[in-house]
Structure 1
Amino acid sequence: MSDEGSSIERRARLHAALADPARLRILDVLALGDASPSELAETLGAPSNLVAHHLGVLEREGVLSRKKSEADRRRSYVQIVPGSLDELTPWDHRRVVRVVFVCTRNSARSHLAAALWRVASQVPVISAGTHPADRISRGAIDVARRHGLDLPLVRPRHLSDVLAEGDLLISVCDRAHEELALPIDIHWSVPDPVTRGDDGAFDEALDELTRRVQTLAPRLSPMP
Protein backbone atom coordinates (compact mmCIF):
# COMPACT_ATOMS: atom_id res chain seq x y z
CA MET A 1 0.00 0.00 0.00
CA SER A 2 1.26 3.47 -0.85
CA ASP A 3 2.11 6.03 1.81
CA GLU A 4 -0.89 8.05 0.68
CA GLY A 5 -3.18 5.03 1.10
CA SER A 6 -1.81 4.33 4.56
CA SER A 7 -2.35 7.95 5.54
CA ILE A 8 -5.96 7.86 4.35
CA GLU A 9 -6.62 4.65 6.29
CA ARG A 10 -5.06 6.16 9.39
CA ARG A 11 -7.23 9.27 9.05
CA ALA A 12 -10.31 7.11 8.55
CA ARG A 13 -9.57 5.11 11.72
CA LEU A 14 -8.96 8.32 13.65
CA HIS A 15 -12.23 9.86 12.49
CA ALA A 16 -14.06 6.64 13.39
CA ALA A 17 -12.53 6.73 16.87
CA LEU A 18 -13.69 10.31 17.31
CA ALA A 19 -17.19 9.67 15.96
CA ASP A 20 -18.77 9.56 19.41
CA PRO A 21 -19.91 12.55 21.51
CA ALA A 22 -18.45 11.11 24.70
CA ARG A 23 -15.00 10.69 23.14
CA LEU A 24 -15.04 14.22 21.79
CA ARG A 25 -15.98 15.45 25.26
CA ILE A 26 -13.04 13.51 26.73
CA LEU A 27 -10.71 15.25 24.28
CA ASP A 28 -12.19 18.62 25.19
CA VAL A 29 -11.47 17.92 28.87
CA LEU A 30 -7.91 16.75 28.14
CA ALA A 31 -7.09 19.47 25.61
CA LEU A 32 -5.30 21.66 28.17
CA GLY A 33 -4.56 19.30 31.06
CA ASP A 34 -4.47 15.72 32.31
CA ALA A 35 -7.14 13.82 34.27
CA SER A 36 -7.54 10.44 35.89
CA PRO A 37 -10.19 8.03 34.53
CA SER A 38 -12.29 8.57 37.66
CA GLU A 39 -12.13 12.35 37.19
CA LEU A 40 -13.22 11.93 33.58
CA ALA A 41 -16.12 9.73 34.66
CA GLU A 42 -17.22 12.36 37.15
CA THR A 43 -16.91 15.17 34.61
CA LEU A 44 -18.85 13.25 31.97
CA GLY A 45 -21.40 11.88 34.43
CA ALA A 46 -20.84 8.44 32.91
CA PRO A 47 -20.21 4.97 34.40
CA SER A 48 -16.53 4.12 34.86
CA ASN A 49 -16.76 1.02 32.64
CA LEU A 50 -18.15 3.10 29.76
CA VAL A 51 -15.40 5.70 30.18
CA ALA A 52 -12.83 2.87 30.20
CA HIS A 53 -14.23 1.64 26.89
CA HIS A 54 -13.96 5.09 25.29
CA LEU A 55 -10.42 5.55 26.62
CA GLY A 56 -9.45 2.17 25.21
CA VAL A 57 -10.67 3.14 21.74
CA LEU A 58 -8.69 6.39 21.81
CA GLU A 59 -5.58 4.71 23.22
CA ARG A 60 -5.60 2.06 20.49
CA GLU A 61 -5.51 4.81 17.87
CA GLY A 62 -2.57 6.52 19.57
CA VAL A 63 -4.58 9.56 20.63
CA LEU A 64 -4.21 9.10 24.40
CA SER A 65 -1.54 7.75 26.74
CA ARG A 66 -1.41 7.10 30.48
CA LYS A 67 1.19 7.60 33.20
CA LYS A 68 1.24 6.52 36.82
CA SER A 69 0.77 9.16 39.48
CA GLU A 70 3.94 9.93 41.39
CA ALA A 71 1.86 10.29 44.54
CA ASP A 72 -0.81 7.56 44.57
CA ARG A 73 0.69 4.79 42.44
CA ARG A 74 -2.73 3.18 42.07
CA ARG A 75 -3.90 6.22 40.11
CA SER A 76 -3.03 7.07 36.52
CA TYR A 77 -3.43 10.22 34.47
CA VAL A 78 -4.61 10.27 30.89
CA GLN A 79 -3.17 12.79 28.44
CA ILE A 80 -3.37 13.54 24.74
CA VAL A 81 -0.35 12.29 22.81
CA PRO A 82 1.48 15.40 21.51
CA GLY A 83 0.79 16.01 17.83
CA SER A 84 -1.86 13.31 17.50
CA LEU A 85 -4.67 15.82 17.10
CA ASP A 86 -2.98 18.87 15.63
CA GLU A 87 -5.92 19.56 13.32
CA LEU A 88 -8.67 18.47 15.70
CA THR A 89 -8.05 19.99 19.12
CA PRO A 90 -10.57 22.64 20.18
CA TRP A 91 -9.45 26.26 20.15
CA ASP A 92 -11.28 28.08 22.88
CA HIS A 93 -10.13 31.47 24.15
CA ARG A 94 -10.44 32.84 27.68
CA ARG A 95 -9.64 36.06 29.48
CA VAL A 96 -8.15 35.55 32.91
CA VAL A 97 -6.94 37.76 35.75
CA ARG A 98 -3.81 35.76 36.55
CA VAL A 99 -2.28 32.30 36.20
CA VAL A 100 -1.06 30.49 39.31
CA PHE A 101 1.22 27.45 38.94
CA VAL A 102 1.33 25.17 41.98
CA CYS A 103 3.43 22.15 42.94
CA THR A 104 4.25 20.62 46.31
CA ARG A 105 7.46 22.40 47.25
CA ASN A 106 7.34 25.42 44.93
CA SER A 107 11.02 24.76 44.33
CA ALA A 108 11.22 23.63 40.70
CA ARG A 109 8.31 22.86 38.36
CA SER A 110 5.99 25.69 39.39
CA HIS A 111 8.82 28.26 39.27
CA LEU A 112 9.99 27.02 35.87
CA ALA A 113 6.43 27.08 34.53
CA ALA A 114 5.97 30.66 35.73
CA ALA A 115 9.28 31.71 34.16
CA LEU A 116 8.26 30.18 30.84
CA TRP A 117 4.85 31.82 31.09
CA ARG A 118 6.35 35.29 31.47
CA VAL A 119 8.07 34.82 28.12
CA ALA A 120 5.02 33.40 26.35
CA SER A 121 2.11 35.47 27.66
CA GLN A 122 1.07 38.90 28.92
CA VAL A 123 -1.26 37.31 31.46
CA PRO A 124 0.22 37.90 34.96
CA VAL A 125 1.62 34.81 36.64
CA ILE A 126 2.78 33.64 40.06
CA SER A 127 3.78 30.29 41.56
CA ALA A 128 3.24 28.63 44.92
CA GLY A 129 3.40 25.33 46.78
CA THR A 130 1.32 23.23 49.13
CA HIS A 131 4.36 22.52 51.34
CA PRO A 132 6.91 25.18 50.36
CA ALA A 133 10.62 24.43 50.56
CA ASP A 134 13.17 26.82 52.05
CA ARG A 135 14.60 27.75 48.65
CA ILE A 136 14.40 27.10 44.92
CA SER A 137 16.09 23.87 43.87
CA ARG A 138 19.64 24.21 42.57
CA GLY A 139 18.66 21.97 39.66
CA ALA A 140 15.91 24.41 38.66
CA ILE A 141 18.33 27.32 38.80
CA ASP A 142 20.88 25.44 36.70
CA VAL A 143 18.41 24.30 34.02
CA ALA A 144 17.09 27.84 33.68
CA ARG A 145 20.63 29.13 33.23
CA ARG A 146 21.44 26.43 30.64
CA HIS A 147 18.41 27.40 28.58
CA GLY A 148 18.71 31.17 28.99
CA LEU A 149 15.54 31.41 31.06
CA ASP A 150 15.14 34.21 33.57
CA LEU A 151 14.26 32.53 36.89
CA PRO A 152 13.75 35.07 39.71
CA LEU A 153 15.31 33.77 42.92
CA VAL A 154 12.36 34.35 45.22
CA ARG A 155 11.49 32.42 48.35
CA PRO A 156 8.93 29.61 47.84
CA ARG A 157 5.44 30.57 49.02
CA HIS A 158 2.35 28.74 50.22
CA LEU A 159 -0.62 28.69 47.89
CA SER A 160 -2.93 30.14 50.54
CA ASP A 161 -0.72 33.25 50.69
CA VAL A 162 -0.99 34.06 46.99
CA LEU A 163 -4.25 32.66 45.59
CA ALA A 164 -6.88 35.31 44.85
CA GLU A 165 -10.33 35.44 43.33
CA GLY A 166 -10.28 35.10 39.56
CA ASP A 167 -6.95 33.25 39.40
CA LEU A 168 -6.58 30.35 36.95
CA LEU A 169 -5.01 27.59 39.04
CA ILE A 170 -2.74 25.11 37.23
CA SER A 171 -1.20 22.20 39.15
CA VAL A 172 2.05 20.87 37.71
CA CYS A 173 2.46 18.19 40.36
CA ASP A 174 0.41 15.04 40.96
CA ARG A 175 0.73 15.28 44.73
CA ALA A 176 -0.53 18.87 44.84
CA HIS A 177 -3.35 18.01 42.48
CA GLU A 178 -4.48 15.10 44.61
CA GLU A 179 -4.22 16.75 48.01
CA LEU A 180 -5.83 20.12 47.28
CA ALA A 181 -9.49 20.41 48.21
CA LEU A 182 -10.12 23.60 46.26
CA PRO A 183 -10.97 23.41 42.54
CA ILE A 184 -8.02 23.19 40.14
CA ASP A 185 -8.68 24.55 36.67
CA ILE A 186 -5.99 22.62 34.79
CA HIS A 187 -3.63 19.80 35.75
CA TRP A 188 -0.32 19.00 34.07
CA SER A 189 1.17 15.69 35.20
CA VAL A 190 4.87 16.56 35.07
CA PRO A 191 7.36 14.22 36.82
CA ASP A 192 9.30 15.79 39.68
CA PRO A 193 12.89 16.38 38.48
CA VAL A 194 14.10 16.79 42.06
CA THR A 195 13.42 13.09 42.69
CA ARG A 196 16.05 12.06 40.13
CA GLY A 197 18.13 15.14 40.67
CA ASP A 198 20.25 14.94 37.51
CA ASP A 199 20.46 17.50 34.71
CA GLY A 200 18.54 15.25 32.35
CA ALA A 201 15.52 15.14 34.67
CA PHE A 202 15.38 18.93 34.84
CA ASP A 203 15.84 19.25 31.07
CA GLU A 204 12.95 16.82 30.51
CA ALA A 205 10.71 18.69 32.95
CA LEU A 206 11.52 22.01 31.28
CA ASP A 207 10.82 20.55 27.83
CA GLU A 208 7.44 19.23 29.00
CA LEU A 209 6.52 22.51 30.65
CA THR A 210 7.61 24.44 27.56
CA ARG A 211 5.31 22.37 25.35
CA ARG A 212 2.39 22.81 27.75
CA VAL A 213 2.92 26.55 28.13
CA GLN A 214 3.21 27.07 24.38
CA THR A 215 -0.08 25.20 23.89
CA LEU A 216 -2.00 27.11 26.55
CA ALA A 217 -0.59 30.64 26.25
CA PRO A 218 -2.24 31.54 22.91
CA ARG A 219 -5.62 30.55 24.37
CA LEU A 220 -5.52 32.99 27.27
CA SER A 221 -5.40 36.76 27.33
CA PRO A 222 -5.34 39.26 30.21
CA MET A 223 -8.50 40.82 31.52
CA PRO A 224 -9.05 44.33 30.07
Structure 2
Amino acid sequence: MIERPDMTGLPDLHLDTEHADALSAHLTLRHFRRGAQALGRQAAAHVVCQRVDGRADLDDRRTARLRSLIPFAQPERPFAKLDLVHLAAVLAMTVGEARERVRTIYPRAEVEAITAEQALLRPQWFVTELIPAPEGAEPRWEAGAWKVASIAYRMSLPLGACLRLLRPYRELGLPLPPLDEDALDDLHPQPSDEVLLTRHDTSISWVGPLDLVQGAGQLGWTVAETHRRLSRYTPSD
Protein backbone atom coordinates (compact mmCIF):
# COMPACT_ATOMS: atom_id res chain seq x y z
CA MET A 1 0.00 0.00 0.00
CA ILE A 2 1.06 3.62 -0.29
CA GLU A 3 1.67 6.45 2.16
CA ARG A 4 -0.25 9.63 1.33
CA PRO A 5 1.00 13.16 1.98
CA ASP A 6 -0.69 15.50 4.43
CA MET A 7 -2.83 17.89 2.35
CA THR A 8 -3.61 20.27 5.21
CA GLY A 9 -3.32 23.84 3.98
CA LEU A 10 -2.46 22.87 0.41
CA PRO A 11 -4.42 24.34 -2.51
CA ASP A 12 -6.70 22.17 -4.65
CA LEU A 13 -5.34 22.45 -8.20
CA HIS A 14 -6.98 21.44 -11.44
CA LEU A 15 -4.27 20.72 -14.00
CA ASP A 16 -4.81 20.32 -17.71
CA THR A 17 -2.69 17.83 -19.65
CA GLU A 18 -0.24 20.47 -20.86
CA HIS A 19 0.28 21.76 -17.33
CA ALA A 20 0.78 18.27 -15.89
CA ASP A 21 3.25 17.29 -18.63
CA ALA A 22 5.24 20.49 -18.08
CA LEU A 23 5.50 19.87 -14.33
CA SER A 24 6.51 16.27 -14.95
CA ALA A 25 9.30 17.40 -17.26
CA HIS A 26 10.60 19.83 -14.65
CA LEU A 27 10.57 17.23 -11.88
CA THR A 28 12.12 14.30 -13.71
CA LEU A 29 15.84 13.61 -13.70
CA ARG A 30 16.97 11.84 -16.85
CA HIS A 31 20.21 9.83 -16.88
CA PHE A 32 21.59 8.29 -20.07
CA ARG A 33 22.12 4.96 -18.26
CA ARG A 34 19.65 4.85 -15.39
CA GLY A 35 16.74 6.35 -17.32
CA ALA A 36 14.09 8.64 -15.84
CA GLN A 37 13.82 9.17 -12.09
CA ALA A 38 11.33 11.34 -10.23
CA LEU A 39 12.94 13.95 -8.00
CA GLY A 40 12.45 13.83 -4.25
CA ARG A 41 11.06 16.78 -2.31
CA GLN A 42 14.41 18.40 -1.55
CA ALA A 43 15.61 18.17 -5.14
CA ALA A 44 12.22 19.41 -6.36
CA ALA A 45 12.56 22.48 -4.15
CA HIS A 46 15.95 23.14 -5.74
CA VAL A 47 14.45 22.90 -9.22
CA VAL A 48 11.71 25.34 -8.26
CA CYS A 49 14.33 27.82 -7.00
CA GLN A 50 16.28 27.46 -10.23
CA ARG A 51 13.40 27.84 -12.66
CA VAL A 52 10.71 29.99 -11.09
CA ASP A 53 11.05 33.73 -10.69
CA GLY A 54 10.35 34.87 -7.17
CA ARG A 55 8.53 37.99 -8.32
CA ALA A 56 4.78 37.65 -7.95
CA ASP A 57 4.05 40.22 -10.66
CA LEU A 58 5.25 37.93 -13.46
CA ASP A 59 2.44 35.99 -15.14
CA ASP A 60 4.43 34.10 -17.77
CA ARG A 61 2.73 30.69 -18.23
CA ARG A 62 5.88 28.75 -17.46
CA THR A 63 6.53 30.82 -14.34
CA ALA A 64 2.90 30.47 -13.23
CA ARG A 65 3.03 26.70 -13.65
CA LEU A 66 6.11 26.39 -11.50
CA ARG A 67 4.87 28.87 -8.92
CA SER A 68 1.74 26.74 -8.44
CA LEU A 69 4.07 23.91 -7.45
CA ILE A 70 5.71 25.78 -4.57
CA PRO A 71 3.24 24.67 -1.84
CA PHE A 72 3.72 21.03 -2.90
CA ALA A 73 7.53 21.15 -3.16
CA GLN A 74 8.44 22.35 0.30
CA PRO A 75 12.03 21.50 1.31
CA GLU A 76 12.50 18.69 3.83
CA ARG A 77 15.60 20.17 5.42
CA PRO A 78 17.28 23.58 5.66
CA PHE A 79 18.98 24.97 2.57
CA ALA A 80 22.68 24.45 3.23
CA LYS A 81 25.47 26.75 2.11
CA LEU A 82 26.40 24.26 -0.59
CA ASP A 83 22.83 24.40 -1.92
CA LEU A 84 23.24 28.15 -2.30
CA VAL A 85 26.55 27.71 -4.14
CA HIS A 86 24.91 25.32 -6.61
CA LEU A 87 21.97 27.64 -7.19
CA ALA A 88 24.29 30.62 -7.68
CA ALA A 89 26.43 28.74 -10.21
CA VAL A 90 23.42 27.54 -12.21
CA LEU A 91 21.83 31.01 -12.33
CA ALA A 92 25.09 32.99 -12.74
CA MET A 93 24.52 35.05 -9.59
CA THR A 94 26.29 35.63 -6.30
CA VAL A 95 25.81 33.31 -3.33
CA GLY A 96 24.11 36.17 -1.50
CA GLU A 97 21.65 36.69 -4.35
CA ALA A 98 20.92 32.96 -4.37
CA ARG A 99 20.17 33.06 -0.64
CA GLU A 100 17.74 35.95 -1.12
CA ARG A 101 16.07 34.10 -3.97
CA VAL A 102 15.46 31.08 -1.76
CA ARG A 103 14.07 33.28 1.03
CA THR A 104 11.73 34.98 -1.46
CA ILE A 105 10.36 31.75 -2.91
CA TYR A 106 10.31 29.84 0.40
CA PRO A 107 9.85 32.52 3.11
CA ARG A 108 9.43 29.96 5.89
CA ALA A 109 12.33 27.73 4.90
CA GLU A 110 15.47 27.56 7.02
CA VAL A 111 18.52 28.84 5.15
CA GLU A 112 22.03 28.61 6.55
CA ALA A 113 23.71 31.92 7.30
CA ILE A 114 26.69 33.07 5.25
CA THR A 115 29.30 35.75 5.84
CA ALA A 116 29.39 39.04 3.96
CA GLU A 117 32.49 37.82 2.11
CA GLN A 118 30.82 34.57 1.10
CA ALA A 119 27.75 36.46 -0.11
CA LEU A 120 29.89 38.18 -2.76
CA LEU A 121 31.21 34.95 -4.27
CA ARG A 122 30.05 34.28 -7.84
CA PRO A 123 30.66 30.55 -8.54
CA GLN A 124 31.71 29.58 -12.04
CA TRP A 125 30.24 26.70 -14.05
CA PHE A 126 32.79 24.11 -12.95
CA VAL A 127 31.76 24.30 -9.29
CA THR A 128 28.50 22.46 -10.02
CA GLU A 129 30.42 19.42 -11.26
CA LEU A 130 31.78 18.82 -7.75
CA ILE A 131 28.56 19.23 -5.77
CA PRO A 132 26.68 16.08 -4.69
CA ALA A 133 23.02 15.86 -5.61
CA PRO A 134 20.59 17.56 -3.18
CA GLU A 135 19.14 14.18 -2.23
CA GLY A 136 22.53 13.02 -0.92
CA ALA A 137 23.57 12.74 2.70
CA GLU A 138 26.58 14.58 4.10
CA PRO A 139 28.84 16.09 1.42
CA ARG A 140 31.84 13.97 0.53
CA TRP A 141 34.38 13.91 -2.28
CA GLU A 142 32.23 11.54 -4.29
CA ALA A 143 33.09 13.26 -7.56
CA GLY A 144 36.48 11.53 -7.60
CA ALA A 145 39.92 12.84 -8.45
CA TRP A 146 39.38 13.13 -12.20
CA LYS A 147 36.46 15.51 -11.69
CA VAL A 148 38.85 18.06 -10.21
CA ALA A 149 41.70 17.18 -12.57
CA SER A 150 39.47 17.44 -15.65
CA ILE A 151 38.45 20.97 -14.68
CA ALA A 152 42.12 21.94 -14.43
CA TYR A 153 42.80 20.25 -17.77
CA ARG A 154 39.96 22.05 -19.57
CA MET A 155 41.06 25.37 -18.11
CA SER A 156 44.74 24.73 -18.98
CA LEU A 157 45.68 25.19 -15.32
CA PRO A 158 47.97 23.23 -13.02
CA LEU A 159 46.03 21.34 -10.38
CA GLY A 160 47.31 23.62 -7.60
CA ALA A 161 45.95 26.75 -9.30
CA CYS A 162 42.60 25.05 -9.90
CA LEU A 163 42.32 24.07 -6.23
CA ARG A 164 43.07 27.64 -5.20
CA LEU A 165 40.14 28.82 -7.34
CA LEU A 166 37.95 26.36 -5.44
CA ARG A 167 39.37 27.19 -2.00
CA PRO A 168 36.66 29.77 -1.02
CA TYR A 169 33.98 27.13 -1.55
CA ARG A 170 35.58 24.59 0.80
CA GLU A 171 34.27 26.56 3.80
CA LEU A 172 30.85 26.55 2.16
CA GLY A 173 30.85 22.75 2.11
CA LEU A 174 32.38 21.86 -1.26
CA PRO A 175 33.75 18.31 -0.75
CA LEU A 176 37.40 18.73 -1.71
CA PRO A 177 40.29 16.47 -0.69
CA PRO A 178 43.03 17.76 1.65
CA LEU A 179 45.68 18.38 -1.00
CA ASP A 180 48.73 20.64 -0.76
CA GLU A 181 47.91 23.25 -3.39
CA ASP A 182 51.43 24.69 -3.62
CA ALA A 183 52.94 21.25 -4.13
CA LEU A 184 50.64 20.70 -7.12
CA ASP A 185 51.57 23.79 -9.09
CA ASP A 186 53.74 21.64 -11.35
CA LEU A 187 51.07 18.96 -11.89
CA HIS A 188 49.32 19.51 -15.20
CA PRO A 189 46.54 16.95 -15.66
CA GLN A 190 46.74 15.00 -18.92
CA PRO A 191 44.33 12.74 -20.84
CA SER A 192 46.35 9.77 -19.56
CA ASP A 193 45.23 10.67 -16.04
CA GLU A 194 41.64 10.02 -17.07
CA VAL A 195 42.58 6.41 -17.83
CA LEU A 196 44.00 6.03 -14.33
CA LEU A 197 41.34 7.95 -12.44
CA THR A 198 38.13 6.65 -14.02
CA ARG A 199 36.33 3.35 -14.31
CA HIS A 200 33.53 2.86 -16.82
CA ASP A 201 33.40 6.62 -17.48
CA THR A 202 33.01 7.31 -13.73
CA SER A 203 35.59 9.24 -11.73
CA ILE A 204 36.95 7.24 -8.79
CA SER A 205 38.57 8.08 -5.44
CA TRP A 206 40.22 4.73 -4.72
CA VAL A 207 42.68 2.63 -6.77
CA GLY A 208 43.41 -1.01 -5.96
CA PRO A 209 46.36 -3.17 -7.01
CA LEU A 210 44.55 -4.65 -10.01
CA ASP A 211 43.47 -1.16 -11.11
CA LEU A 212 47.13 -0.16 -11.01
CA VAL A 213 48.15 -3.06 -13.24
CA GLN A 214 45.26 -2.46 -15.63
CA GLY A 215 46.03 1.25 -15.93
CA ALA A 216 49.70 0.55 -16.60
CA GLY A 217 48.75 -1.91 -19.32
CA GLN A 218 46.36 0.50 -21.00
CA LEU A 219 48.98 3.25 -21.12
CA GLY A 220 51.98 1.06 -21.90
CA TRP A 221 53.68 2.15 -18.69
CA THR A 222 55.39 0.14 -15.98
CA VAL A 223 53.51 -0.39 -12.74
CA ALA A 224 56.09 1.74 -10.94
CA GLU A 225 55.57 4.64 -13.39
CA THR A 226 51.82 4.36 -12.93
CA HIS A 227 52.13 4.33 -9.16
CA ARG A 228 54.34 7.44 -9.21
CA ARG A 229 51.80 9.32 -11.33
CA LEU A 230 48.92 8.35 -9.08
CA SER A 231 50.87 9.37 -5.98
CA ARG A 232 50.53 13.00 -7.09
CA TYR A 233 46.77 12.74 -6.58
CA THR A 234 47.02 11.23 -3.09
CA PRO A 235 45.60 13.53 -0.37
CA SER A 236 48.14 14.76 2.13
CA ASP A 237 47.92 13.72 5.78
The TM-score normalised by the length of structure 2 is 0.26
With CA pairs under 8 Å and 6+ residues apart, which has the higher RCO, 1 or 2?
A: 1
Larger Rg: 1 or 2? 2
The TM-score normalised by the length of structure 1 is 0.27
Structure with the higher strand share, 1 or 2: 1
